[in-house]
């Protein structure tokens, strides 16, 4: 991220603590260009020990680290106390090879970064059970801007966040034209390059069309069969593409909440984007919220995404849903955490909402809150 402003990442303190207190492998997943390499290098600047930095694009490293050969590993890591493997998805069978490094070289610390196709293509999870701490790095969070901005300043930047998203590079670019050009280039295959390279995508050109359809449907129920009809693809193929895009941190989905009541809709999901700048680039629409018909969807996506980020960095887990009935009652977001159930409605501007009577009737113990321009910072900043 050359040229990007130095933004304190909330994941840095978590990784630093793990590096000091644990011998497990540290894995940082995230989309391309969210700042994984920059983050690790900043942490390693303060590390007291000799560091081997491995660029997995270099064949001399890839050949050794895919060999499963302890003696070759020893020649590579001898004299080092920490190995940093960047973009580790490039290394075949990286999971089993990381397991060998961990088991055969006690005391050697290992950090690996990669897109989530790292996990998909190389089956990292199973070999490293009990041997690794894994974390996700997202585009910049509002909670991270809070380190250098007061609440007034954050609110002033809201329109910028909604237009151009939160990729680190965006904030180093001097004008709107450069930001748009960067985001358009990012959204054209580069963002999901690993998925195209490592998965057998027979209709790669359809991915762009699928993303455009999904960008229009943010906040709405999504039918995979209808998408398939529009794209000339089978329903299973659409489901597979959506799954891959989700695992590559391009999309995420919410499912419907229900306690098995027939009146509640649970079959079709809602789909959102991990960055609004990318979504706007796909739609070729960078207008400010008040000048676009989809400002409600834009706002909904923003709030959900920032909530996910802040909770991840606080290591707070929750089950996430939307809620809707066949009679039209709905809530944009339902959060189930610590045995408590909370429903949220998102309103652009200063509109006040009222809890659906059906929600209060069915879930008497649940809370309700309307999130609008006046109180949204409480929702997306650490509690």
| Per-residue model confidence (pLDDT) at position 122 | 56
Average pLDDT over residues 221-231: 96
In Å, how far are 161, 276, 295 from 348, measured between CA atoms?
15, 16, 7
More confident residue, 365 or 4: 365
Lowest mean pLDDT among 73-87, 107-121, 151-165: 107-121
Whether the predicted pLDDT of 49 surpasses 90: yes
pLDDT in tens, 241-293: 999 898 888 999 999 998 866 777 778 999 999 999 999 999 999 999 999 99
Average pLDDT over residues 53-64: 92
* Structure tokens, 157: 């930047």
Q: Domains along the chain?
A: 11-136 (3.40.50.300), 142-313 (1.10.10.10)
Whether the predicted pLDDT of 3 surpasses 50: no
| Per-residue model confidence (pLDDT) at position 1 | 43
Average pLDDT over residues 119-124: 60
Q: What share of the chain in percent tops pLDDT 90?
A: 77
Lowest mean pLDDT among 91-95, 109-113, 131-135, 311-315: 91-95
Give the whole-angstrom CA distance, residue 47 versus residue 24: 16
| Per-residue model confidence (pLDDT) at position 351 | 82
DSSP letter at 325 equals B
pLDDT band for 160, please (50, 70, 90 cuts): very high
Arithmetic mean of pLDDT over the chain:
91
Give the whole-angstrom CA distance, residue 294 versus residue 361: 31
Whether the predicted pLDDT of 117 surpasses 70: no
Nearest residue to 9 via CA among 24, 28, 26, 32? 28
pLDDT band for 115, please (50, 70, 90 cuts): confident
* Structure tokens, 226: 């209808």
| Per-residue model confidence (pLDDT) at position 90 | 84
pTM for the model stands at 0.92
More confident residue, 195 or 110: 110
- Do the bridges between strand 82-86 and strand 270-273 make them parallel or antiparallel, or are there none, so unpaired? unpaired
pLDDT in tens, 171-223: 999 999 999 999 999 998 777 777 777 677 777 788 889 999 999 999 999 99
* Structure tokens, 111: 């950090």
| Per-residue model confidence (pLDDT) at position 120 | 52
Q: What share of the chain in percent tops pLDDT 70?
A: 96
Mapping DSSP onto H, E and C, the string for 191-227 reads: HHHHHHHHCCCCCHHHHHHHHHHHHHCCCCECCHHHH
Whether the predicted pLDDT of 63 surpasses 50: yes
334 by DSSP, 3-state: which? strand
Whether the predicted pLDDT of 319 surpasses 70: yes
Query: Within 10 Å of residue 352's Cβ, how many Cβ atoms?
Result: 9
Q: How many CA atoms lie within 13 A of 164 on its CB side?
A: 20
* Structure tokens, 283: 């739609």
Lowest mean pLDDT among 118-127, 133-142, 228-237, 334-343: 118-127
């Amino acid at each position: 991220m050359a040229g990007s402003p130095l933004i304190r990442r909330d994941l840095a303190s978590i990784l630093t603590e793990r590096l000091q207190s644990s011998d497990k492998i540290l894995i940082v997943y995230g989309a391309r260009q969210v700042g994984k390499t920059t983050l690790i290098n900043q942490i390693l600047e303060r590390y007291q020990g000799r560091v081997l930095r491995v660029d997995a694009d270099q064949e001399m490293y890839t050949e050794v680290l895919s060999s499963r050969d302890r003696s070759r590993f020893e020649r590579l890591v001898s004299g080092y106390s920490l190995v940093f493997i960047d973009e580790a998805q490039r290394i075949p069978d990286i999971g089993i090879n990381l397991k060998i490094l961990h088991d055969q070289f006690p005391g050697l610390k290992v950090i690996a970064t990669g897109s989530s196709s790292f996990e998909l293509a190389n089956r990292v999870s199973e070999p490293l059970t009990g041997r690794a701490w894994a974390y996700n790095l997202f585009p910049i969070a509002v909670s991270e801007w809070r380190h250098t901005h007061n609440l007034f300043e954050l609110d002033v930047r809201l329109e910028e966040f909604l237009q151009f998203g939160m990729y680190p590079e965006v904030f180093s670019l001097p004008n709107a034209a450069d930001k748009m050009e960067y985001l358009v280039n990012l959204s054209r295959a580069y963002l999901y390059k690993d998925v195209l390279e490592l998965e057998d995508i027979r209709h790669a050109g359809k991915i762009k069309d699928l993303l455009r359809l999904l960008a229009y449907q943010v906040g709405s129920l999504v039918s995979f069969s209808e998408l398939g009809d529009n794209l000339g693809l089978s329903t299973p193929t659409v489901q597979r593409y959506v799954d891959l895009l989700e695992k590559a941190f391009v999309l995420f989905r919410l499912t419907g909440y229900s306690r098995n009541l027939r009146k509640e809709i649970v079959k079709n999901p809602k789909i959102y984007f991990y960055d609004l700048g990318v979504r706007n680039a796909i739609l070729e629409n960078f207008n400010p919220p008040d000048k676009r018909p989809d400002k409600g969807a834009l706002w909904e996506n923003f709030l959900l995404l920032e909530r996910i980020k802040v909770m991840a960095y606080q290591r707070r887990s929750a089950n996430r849903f939307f809620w809707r009935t066949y009679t039209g009652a709905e809530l944009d977001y339902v959060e189930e955490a610590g045995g408590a159930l909370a429903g949220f409605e998102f309103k652009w501007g200063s509109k006040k909402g009222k809890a659906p009577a059906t929600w209060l009737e069915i879930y008497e113990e649940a809370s309700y809150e309307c999130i609008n321009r006046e109180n949204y910072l409480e929702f997306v900043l650490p509690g």
